[in-house]
Structure 1
Amino acid sequence: MTSTDFVRADPRGPYAGAVVSLVGYRQRDIEQRLHRGLPSPYLTFVVSLDNPVVVGEREDDPEPVSAYGMLGPLAARPAFIDQPSAQEGVQLAIHPFASRWLFGVPASRLTGLALDVRDVLGAPADALRARIGDTDDWGQRFAAVSGLLAERARTASGAAAARPRPEVVEGWRWIVARGGNGRIDDLAAHVALSPRRLRTVFVDELGFGPKVLSRLVRFERAVAMVRDQTVAPETGSLSDVAARAGYADHAHLVHEFRTLSGTTPTGWVEEERRNLQAGGHRNGAS
């Protein structure tokens, strides 16, 4: 019988802002063999305990990335994850501004759909997996993650320790506050940069311009609404989701969902229904 459990932690402490969500997962006898990783405005950091995470650019990717610690950079396309019958580990959604001190480089320097965390962090990646695997207690596992954050912040130096440009920080805040629905010309005026210069500083830090980041922020809001609608159907229809998320209409929502994820909202729900009902896909984590 399939068993799916998600254990959620409330990130606290001086580095809480770096972690958008922190989730422990344990699944057994999984029937769904392929999981679709949706685009997000946050980095995805996974530490798997029993089986490596296998990520491809398409369902039949002949050369997927396989690793026990996986980092998903910012992307505007889906990743396809092969699911073994049993899996257990910890998944974080990381704020892209934390990439400097956590991974040593701006988020723009982390490219592709998936990276082996050992290639980014080195020995600390193996040490973290060992500490998490040494205990079955989720509190201790989450404490190990917090310990890594603290150590990386304490030892960051040079460019890794530098803050992003204030225009990018304020631009991010502005985009998120508007749910990804603000006009780029208005944002440029707000941070006193030309639209071209605004795009340059965003790409330098995040790898995408403000237009793409706005699409990702709006898409993630829509995904959250679709998730909530699946769990509690009385919350409204897809047309309601489209209106609340800022899409022109239902057709626009479906088109954007297909463009960014490779499937429709209804198709995604059918793929992920069991995870959704078990409490997955909250705050950027699945």
Structure 2
Amino acid sequence: MPLLHVGRNLTPRQPVEIARIGNRYRVTRPWHPGLRPFVRGYAGYAESEVTPYQVRLIPSGRAVLVISLAEPFTQVRRLGAAGPGSGRIGSLVTGLESAPAVCEHPGGQEAIRVEFTPLGAYRLFAMPMAELTNRVVELADVLGPGTGELVERLATTDDWTARFDLLDAALLARIDGGPDPAPEVGQAWRLLADSCGAVPIARLADEVGWSQKHLIRRFTEQVGLTPKLSARVLRFHRAVELLGRGAGTPAEIAALCGFYDQAHLNREFRALGDTTPGRLAAARRVEGALTL
């Protein structure tokens, strides 16, 4: 389905809120009710001055769409992966991740960033999510005809309320026509997400009435990661959030999140974030990324 096909009439809703954080303006408003089951974050942002930057991206259990309205990224590079990275890239899509990446930008950025649940992304992108796992892909390569026109219209629209209305309409039309995930996969994902990765795979299979082998195959296709790796990422993400809020010491958070001990927590932070709990707790968070 072309991205600009609009299947429902939308009226402008409440105005946006703009906050200044350092040299960046962050623009938000509650996202459309029709997007609530599928979206976990939705914000625009613009730099008040041109400042090159490099940030660390870490696994979160979410897929991400970034619409670049000004300068493109210099590159996005997966740590530990072969190859030079994405190279110069503007609007992009990332699937679920199980390894950290480094994102570089020359400054002067203006963009909209939307975070999706894996099954929301499956409906939006209408493709096996495993094909996007640990990848950074040009938006047009995923969403197809009309992508460039939509990005241009968003970039030439100065009013953020109008921008969000336009993007809402495009996303809703695309999701309305997207594939339905298997109910069993949806149930398994909810059990994992609600427990922050604490439900064993054998119990997931029992709950949904599938064999473990069949669950792993269908889940990986529609979510992007295996159930076991999804649980690992969700547990890590919860620990990151708790550390960021100062909700306890690393040892306390290790116990809260179901790690064997603090040493286990430390190993997971190295494997999934290429950092330590202490460094991550001190990092500045910028739109899902970390300035370490």
In structure 1, C-alpha distance between the alignment counterparts of 2:240 and 2:280, rounded to whole Å: 10
Deviation, 1:11, is 1.9
Partner of 2:254: 242
Question: Is the aligned partner of 1:131 residue 2:137?
Answer: no
Partner of 1:223: 240
2:42 aligned counterpart, secondary structure: strand
Out of 79, 97, 110, the position equivalent to 2:132 is 110
Out of 206, 215, 222, the position equivalent to 1:205 is 222
CA contact (8 A) 1:25 1:89 kept: yes
Question: Cα gap change, 1:139/1:115 in structure 2, threshold over 3 Å: closer, same or farther?
Answer: same
Please identify which structure carries the higher helix content: 1
Partner of 2:89: 67
Partner of 1:11: 31
**Code of the aligned partner of 2:258:** G
1:88-133 per-position Cα deviation (integer Å, ceiling 9, x unaligned): 2111111221234322213223244200001111233222322321
Query: Once superposed, what is the RMSD of the aligned Cα atoms?
Result: 2.6
Out of 68, 76, 82, the position equivalent to 1:55 is 76
Deviation, 1:269, is 4.2
Partner of 1:43: 63
Question: Cα gap change, 1:243/1:34 in structure 2, threshold over 3 Å: closer, same or farther?
Answer: same
Question: Is the aligned partner of 1:166 residue 2:170?
Answer: no
Deviation, 1:265, is 2.4
**Code of the aligned partner of 2:205:** A
**Code of the aligned partner of 1:19:** V
Question: Cα gap change, 1:248/1:49 in structure 2, threshold over 3 Å: closer, same or farther?
Answer: same
Where in structure 1 are there 5+ consecutive unaligned residues? 230-234
1:68 aligned counterpart, secondary structure: coil
**Code of the aligned partner of 1:67:** I
Question: Is the aligned partner of 1:96 residue 2:123?
Answer: no
Question: Cα gap change, 1:205/1:62 in structure 2, threshold over 3 Å: closer, same or farther?
Answer: closer
Partner of 2:276: 264
How many residue pairs align between the two structures?
Answer: 268
Partner of 2:209: 192
**Code of the aligned partner of 1:9:** R
Question: Is the aligned partner of 1:175 residue 2:195?
Answer: no
Deviation, 1:3, is 0.7
Deviant stretches of 4+, over 6 Å: none
In structure 2, C-alpha distance between the alignment counterparts of 1:245 and 1:184, rounded to whole Å: 17
Identity level (%): 29
Out of 7, 29, 41, the position equivalent to 1:21 is 41
Q: Which moved more, 1:112-121 or 1:240-249?
A: 240-249
CA contact (8 A) 1:43 1:94 kept: yes
Q: Which moved more, 1:170-179 or 1:81-90?
A: 81-90
Question: Cα gap change, 1:9/1:242 in structure 2, threshold over 3 Å: closer, same or farther?
Answer: farther
Give TM-score, length-normalised by structure 2: 0.82
Q: Which moved more, 1:29-38 or 1:141-150?
A: 29-38
**Code of the aligned partner of 2:164:** F
Give TM-score, length-normalised by structure 1: 0.83
**Code of the aligned partner of 2:208:** V
In structure 2, C-alpha distance between the alignment counterparts of 1:7 and 1:237, rounded to whole Å: 33
In structure 2, C-alpha distance between the alignment counterparts of 1:63 and 1:238, rounded to whole Å: 32
1:219-238 per-position Cα deviation (integer Å, ceiling 9, x unaligned): 22122112222xxxxx3322
**Code of the aligned partner of 2:124:** L
